[in-house]
């Protein structure tokens, strides 16, 4: 026998083609909002299966409760002492409370607790049938979808991301009678636009996926369709003796564009392989949504694989059409490639005077000249070649004036590398032209050689300081110059490439490139704070707690690599059993020292100790001070903190047995001096009092 208290629920919103890049996000949001709402309504359910195709958002909820549970409502009224008079008659308070509940005083109950007794009203509210709730829950989930711009269609006032043509609301074998987004819901879905455009009656939710596939020519499950595309593309590549390069984002986008995927291979002329392969790949993937093929060495092959949304009786027609579309694009790239190389990159440098970087900060030529000085300075600091850094800085923006970058803006730097090598420039200089844009996004690779690292740092620091100096700092979500990304890039380059440079000194060197009227010097402090603030997100992504970073930043350090090493050491220290006690002790020491008026005492006189606890602490401090300082000087902060952790017992004993603020001034000053030395030793690593 089936359980009539639970049924499967199917929800399907049938639309015109949804935005491909947004489809996975819309599907997740729709499913999450809906299941969250069911949970809030106290409806129990089993497995939840989302479905998403270009023409539908759907959710299957297994074993959903047929109704919400009964609820006992309890409302507390006046205390019994105030509810009845001395003769036992109800007071106005009791009668008023009864009226507000729609009953008489006689219908009320009493509630007795250890704090007293009260009148209470209790009633049992029956559960609501699930079909009554579903329409409003669906409407709320659709309204909450992350849709930047909604549209109307026909004469309806309803708005959605695309026009809606059908809605399925099916609970068990029974359709839910409701109007959603202006459409009367039922059990009727639709199949593939071309293969099976007829109406499809869904007998029950469990039949949905297989019925759509067998009769509707639609693979509704996004993940299944994605893997089917991957397998087909790889199979086509294997037939041609190559390997398909399948980018995850492109695979998602193609999956969101088709309901019945069919992979078809196409070819282009081998002469186009003389063009930089990045330009060809960009055209294939970004413009045409093709997957490109490479050989065993990773070299581009003259083949591609496209994914059609139809099972054609004549696939050659689709192949020919895709080959025709791509040919003129490749021909344009070939023309630009040949034309651009007639003019050396270096010859384009003066033309950068005509390109504005920022109105108040000058042209790209001005920026390039600033970069020559700053990149040379940084290169010398990190053991690089000053002359290579200068040359890379002169050329790094020149490819922005080429026809290739005009056609393929995402290839700036990459095209510059090709042209620099063609012009006979040094290989490290050419690589720096490309890699000074790294990292371009979270998780991107970093610049690999000293020249590229120096130029990447110089480019970002120049932009940060200049934009801050003219008062155009990021506000809220607005960051037109991508300064947050630039700051995070600076941190990643310094930390992950282990470049132990001081940010304040780097910014001071950046200032010298700007004319006096820019007043760049005044921007050093806010830019420094802005960059270091990005450490919060950087370390949070690595699982570091915020209080650990706070403990390190409290010391006023400005060398990101050193900060990072301390953060990792403190993060390890806080796992030690001694950490909590020592953090509390350091906080106590800090509070004591802050209350001292005037200069803190410096000299500790062991002859003035009167308690064994202060003698023991002093001896323990002296025994490890030199080793701790040596570890700090060597940058081994983990070793330093582990040694300091051994002070836990003598510190705890000191505070248990010693009165720091003794009446005797000499005794008091001696004890304060001891705490001052101890506190400063800890602060040489971090202010562990900040640890929570």
Q: Which of 17-21, 75-79, 336-340 has the lowest mean pLDDT?
A: 75-79
pLDDT band at residue 4 under the 50/70/90 scheme? low
Query: 169 and 46 share a domain?
Result: yes
Please write the tens of the pLDDT for every residue from 367-413: 999 999 999 999 999 999 999 999 999 999 999 999 999 999 999 99
Q: How would DSSP label each residue in 58-105?
A: EEEEEEEESBPPPEEEEEEEEEHHHHB-TTSPBPHHHHHHHHHHTS-G
Stated pTM of the model: 0.81
- The verdict on 388 and 461 lying in the same domain is yes
Per residue in 86-103, is it b (16+ CB within 10 Å) or e — as a string?
eeeebeeebeebbeebee
Which residue is listed with tokens 């049992």?
Answer: 124
DSSP reduced 3-state for 545? coil
Average pLDDT over residues 84-112: 87
- Average model confidence (pLDDT) across the chain: 92
Q: Tell me the C-alpha distance between 229 and 368, whole Å.
A: 46
95 near 101, Cβ under 8 Å? no
Whether 664 has a pLDDT exceeding 90, the answer reads no
Cis-peptide, bond into residue 180, ω within 30° of zero: no
Over residues 486-509, the mean pLDDT reads: 96
Evaluate whether residue 323 is within a structural domain. yes
pLDDT grade for 3, boundaries at 50, 70 and 90: low
Is the domain of 27 the same as that of 171? yes
Q: Does residue 416 belong to any structural domain of this protein?
A: no
**Residue whose structure tokens are 């294939």:** 284
Q: Is the pLDDT of residue 650 over 70?
A: yes
pLDDT of residue 81 exceeding 70, the answer is yes
Residue 431: the pLDDT is 97
pLDDT tens per residue, range 399-456: 999 999 999 999 999 999 999 999 999 999 999 999 999 999 888 999 999 999 999 9
Q: Looking at the domain assignment, is residue 378 inside a domain?
A: yes
Of 502, 507, 460, which is closest to residue 484 (Cα–Cα)? 460
Range among 93-97, 349-353, 630-634 rated most confident: 349-353
pLDDT of residue 334: 96
Question: Residue 171's beta-bridge partner residues?
Answer: 9, 174
pLDDT at 94 over 70: yes
- In this predicted structure, what is the pLDDT of residue 381? 96
> In this predicted model, what pLDDT tens digit does every residue of 261-303 receive, in sequence order?
999 999 999 999 999 999 999 999 999 999 999 999 999 999 9
* Calpha distance 94→104 (Å, rounded): 9
- Looking at the fold, whether 172 and 230 belong to one and the same domain comes out as no
Contacts of 70 (CB under 8 A, 6+ apart): 124, 125, 126, 127
Quickly count: other Cβ atoms within 10 Å of residue 615's Cβ.
14
d(CA 463, CA 490): 12
Strand 356-358 relative to strand 362-363, pairing: antiparallel
Domain with 499 in it: 359-397+427-533
> At 14, which helix (H) or strand (E)?
strand 6-15
Question: Which of 94, 110, 125 is at the close of a domain?
Answer: 125
Q: Is the pLDDT of residue 149 over 50?
A: yes
Residue 656 pLDDT > 90, yes or no?
no
Looking from the CA of 243 toward its CB, the CA atoms found within 13 Å total 8
Q: Are residues 60 and 201 in the same domain?
A: yes
Nearest to 416 by CA among 340, 491, 333, 522: 340
Token pair of 567 as six digits:
């953060």
Distance, CA of 657 to chain centre: 50
Asked if residue 330 and residue 182 are part of one domain, the reply reads no
Picking from 292, 308, 340, the residue at the C-terminal end of a domain is 340
Q: What's the pLDDT at 1?
A: 35
Q: Are both 524 and 587 inside the same structural domain?
A: no
Long-range contacts of 195-204 (CB under 8 A, 24+ apart): 195/260, 195/310, 195/311, 202/10, 202/168, 202/170, 203/173, 204/8, 204/170, 204/172, 204/173
Task: Mark which of 340, 369, 384 sits at the end of a domain.
Answer: 340
- Mean pLDDT across the stretch 96-125? 86
CATH number of the domain within which 681 lies: 1.10.730.10
Is pLDDT above 90 for 469? yes
Q: Same structural domain for residues 208 and 262?
A: no
Per DSSP, 480 falls in state T
Return phi, psi of residue 263, to 5°: -80, 135
Which residues lie closer than 8 Å to 671 by C-beta, 6 or more apart?
Answer: 614, 658, 660, 662
Average pLDDT over residues 217-245: 97
pLDDT for 598 beyond 80: no
* Residue 402 forms part of a structural domain: no
**Among candidate residues 502, 499, 565, 490, the one with its CA nearest the CA of residue 534:** 490
Which pLDDT value is given to residue 579?
Answer: 78
CA 661 – CA 447 distance, rounded (Å): 56
For residues 609 and 479, membership in a common domain is answered with no
Count the helix, strand and coil residues of the chain and give each as a percent rounded to the nearest 5.
55, 15, 30
Structure tokens at 66: 């047929």
User: Is pLDDT larger for residue 328 or for residue 72?
Assistant: 328
In a shared domain, residues 31 and 165: yes
State the Cα–Cα distance between residues 616 and 78, nearest whole angstrom: 64
- Is the pLDDT at 578 greater than 90? The verdict is no
Is 199 within the bounds of a domain? yes
**3-state secondary structure at position 304:** strand
Order of strands, edge to edge, in the sheet holding 291-294?
A: 243-244, 291-294, 300-308, 262-267
470, 520 contact by CB (below 8 A): no
According to DSSP, the β-strands at 179-180 and 183-184 are antiparallel
Q: What is the pLDDT of residue 2?
A: 45
Instruction: Identify whether the C-beta of residue 302 lies closer than 8 Å to the C-beta of residue 267.
Output: yes
For 47-56, 268-277, 608-617, which range has the lowest pLDDT when averaged over its residues? 608-617
- Give the model confidence (pLDDT) of 183-196 as tens digits: 999 999 999 999 99
My answer on whether 253 and 325 are in the same domain is yes
pLDDT category of residue 477 using cuts at 50, 70 and 90? confident
Kind plus residue range of the DSSP H or E element containing 212 = helix 208-216
Is residue 273 located within the same domain as residue 389? no
Residue 582 domain flag: yes
Position 167 pLDDT exceeds 50: yes
Contacts of 255 (CB under 8 A, 6+ apart): 222, 225, 226, 229, 261
Our CA angle for 96, 97, 101, nearest 5°, is: 115
Q: Which residues pair with 125 in a beta bridge?
A: 71
Burial of residue 686, with CB atoms counted within 10 A of its CB: 0-12 exposed, 13-18 middle, 19 or more buried: buried
Separation between Cα atoms, residue 412 and residue 234, nearest integer Å: 30
The answer to whether residue 178 is domain-embedded is yes
The reply to whether 28 falls in a domain is yes
> Based on the structure, what is the number of domains in the chain?
5
- What percentage of the chain exceeds 90 in pLDDT? 67
Average of per-residue pLDDT across 678-690:
84
User: Is residue 324 within 8 Å of 267, Cβ to Cβ?
Assistant: no
């Amino acid at each position: 026998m089936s359980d009539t208290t639970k049924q499967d629920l199917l929800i399907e919103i049938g639309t015109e083609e949804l935005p491909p890049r947004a489809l996975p996000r819309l599907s997740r949001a729709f499913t999450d909002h809906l299941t969250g709402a069911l949970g809030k309504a106290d409806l129990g359910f089993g497995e939840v299966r989302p479905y998403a195709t270009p023409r539908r958002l759907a959710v299957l909820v297994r074993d959903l409760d047929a109704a919400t549970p009964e609820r006992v409502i309890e409302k507390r009224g006046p205390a019994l002492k105030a509810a009845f008079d001395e003769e036992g008659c109800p007071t106005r308070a009791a009668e008023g409370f009864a009226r507000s509940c729609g009953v008489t005083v006689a219908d009320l109950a009493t509630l007795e607790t250890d704090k007293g007794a009260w009148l209470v009203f209790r009633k049992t509210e029956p559960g609501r049938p699930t079909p009554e709730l579903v329409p409003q829950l669906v409407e709320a989930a659709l309204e909450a979808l992350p849709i930047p711009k909604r549209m109307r269609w026909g004469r309806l006032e309803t708005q959605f991301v695309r026009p809606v043509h059908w809605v399925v609301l099916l609970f068990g074998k029974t359709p839910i009678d409701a109007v959603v987004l202006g459409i009367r819901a039922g059990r009727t879905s639709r199949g593939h636009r071309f293969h099976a455009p007829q109406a499809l009656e869904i007998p029950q939710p469990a039949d949905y996926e297989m019925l759509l596939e067998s009769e509707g020519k639609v693979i509704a499950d996004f993940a299944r369709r994605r893997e089917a595309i991957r397998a087909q593309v790889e199979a086509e590549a294997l037939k041609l003796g190559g390997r398909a390069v399948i980018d995850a984002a492109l695979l998602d986008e193609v999956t969101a564009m088709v309901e019945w995927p069919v992979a078809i291979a196409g070819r282009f002329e081998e002469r186009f392989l003389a063009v930089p392969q990045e330009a060809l790949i960009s055209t294939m993937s970004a413009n045409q949504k093709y997957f490109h093929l490479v050989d065993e060495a990773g070299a581009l092959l003259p083949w591609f694989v496209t994914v059609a949304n139809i099972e054609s009786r004549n696939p050659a027609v689709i192949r020919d059409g895709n080959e025709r579309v791509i040919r003129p694009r490749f021909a344009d790239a070939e023309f630009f490639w040949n034309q651009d190389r007639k003019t050396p990159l270096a010859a384009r440098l003066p033309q950068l005077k005509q390109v504005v970087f920022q109105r108040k900060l000058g042209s790209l030529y001005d920026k390039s000249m600033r970069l020559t000085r700053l990149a040379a300075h940084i290169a010398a600091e990190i053991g690089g070649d000053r002359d290579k850094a200068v040359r890379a800085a002169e050329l790094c923006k020149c490819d922005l004036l080429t026809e290739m970058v005009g056609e393929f803006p995402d290839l700036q730097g990459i095209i510059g590398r090709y042209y620099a090598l063609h012009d006979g420039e040094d290989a490290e200089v050419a690589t720096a032209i490309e890699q000074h844009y790294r990292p371009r996004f979270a998780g991107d690779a970093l610049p690999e050689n000293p020249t590229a690292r120096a130029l990447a740092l110089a480019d970002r620091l120049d932009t940060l300081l200049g934009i801050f100096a003219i008062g155009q700092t990021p506000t809220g979500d607005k960051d037109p110059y991508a300064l947050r990304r630039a700051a995070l890039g600076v941190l990643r380059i310094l930390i992950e490439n282990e470049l132990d440079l001081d940010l304040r000194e780097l910014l001071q060197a950046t200032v010298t490139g700007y004319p006096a009227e820019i007043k760049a010097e005044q921007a050093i402090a806010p830019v420094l704070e802005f960059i270091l603030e990005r450490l919060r997100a950087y370390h949070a992504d690595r699982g570091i707690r915020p209080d650990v970073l706070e403990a390190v930043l409290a010391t006023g350090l400005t060398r990101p690599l050193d900060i990072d090493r301390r953060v990792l050491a403190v993060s390890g220290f806080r796992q030690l059993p001694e950490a909590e006690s020592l953090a509390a002790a350091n906080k106590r020491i800090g509070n004591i020292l802050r209350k001292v008026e005037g200069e803190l005492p410096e000299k500790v006189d062991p002859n003035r100790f009167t308690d064994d606890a202060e003698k023991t602490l002093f001896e323990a401090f002296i025994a490890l001070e030199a080793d701790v300082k040596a570890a700090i000087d060597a940058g081994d902060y983990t070793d330093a903190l582990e040694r300091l952790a051994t002070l836990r017992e003598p510190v705890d004993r000191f505070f248990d047995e010693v009165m720091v603020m003794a009446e005797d001034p000499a005794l008091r000053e001696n004890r304060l001096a001891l705490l001052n030395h101890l506190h400063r030793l800890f602060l040489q690593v971090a202010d562990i009092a900040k640890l929570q």
